[in-house]
Amino acid sequence: MMPSSWGMSSADIRAVENPISAIFELADDVNKEAPKIKKIVTYSTVFIGFWLLLDFILILATISSNPLIGIILIGFFILGIATLALIRQLNDFFKYYAMRHNVILSVRDADPVLYVPKGTTPVDRLRSYLGSRNPDMMRPLFSAPSPMVMRGRSGLMYQFDLYVSSDHGILWGFFGMGYPGYQLFVKQFVAAPRVEDLTAMKRGVEDVCSTTRMPPSRVIALWTRAKDQELSEAAYDLLTGSSIEYNHMGRKYVSTVELIIENEDGTYEFIPFLAEPHRSLPRAQ
């Protein structure tokens, strides 16, 4: 038997009634402890940072008079840097876990059928839908000229039927920390998008992100499906198995191309379904 700690349930951990429910309960228990672990990570970071500063001062003071002590302090300094790097990875993991948990809950609690809102064009209707899901999109700090022609780092020009963005925070540009900004890319297709179309859209987003120096938060291929139109199996595999990667200061941010289908019966279909948090942040690895 294992003792109960960290405020976890005192029930016998071997007792499982419903495996699916038990998985969600376990995820909820871990998510409840995330704020406490975040505090521990913060305190540890501050303590180690203070020790590194003190250690650096001691190295300068002793390296000439007592080389042996200086070498030992240098070893502790290197160990401290490595520990800070591991703590940063731990912090990234819990951020990712908390976001993933919220996404799973939102998908589980989402309406089984999502209806297309009113609007003059498919892009206008999609923007209304996204605005109802993410209120931040309606704030003044977001700009959304439509359509939008953007230049990539390669010098090529790319057109998107909707582009929504907000600037990144100050610390992001210098240290890769804080708010990375928001970028929503939408491109409309009147026929079923082919593998070539999706691949070109993916490359265009990556090229533009190299210019804006922000990761893509959400990339949407909007398809207004007519009768007897079907998506190819190759395009489906690309949507579910491919991702967009953006690297910034040693951290990799991963997003995906989402196909939103506006059906003739006035409903939306998603491949894959992406839950939209109030602040979209791709995973940092």
From the first residue on, what is the mean pLDDT of each consecutive set of 10 residues in the chain (285 residues)? 49 59 71 81 90 92 89 93 88 77 68 83 90 69 68 92 86 79 91 94 93 91 90 92 84 88 92 63 39
Distance of CA 211 to the CA centre of its chain: 19
pLDDT (0 to 100) of residue 176: 75
pLDDT (0 to 100) of residue 25: 72
Helices H / strands E in the chain, number of each: 6, 11
**Cα distance between residue 258 and residue 126, in whole Å:** 13
How many residues are recorded in the chain? 285
pLDDT (0 to 100) of residue 131: 83
Q: Which amino acid type is present at position 199?
A: T
pLDDT (0 to 100) of residue 201: 94
pLDDT (0 to 100) of residue 209: 92
Q: What is the DSSP letter of 184?
A: E
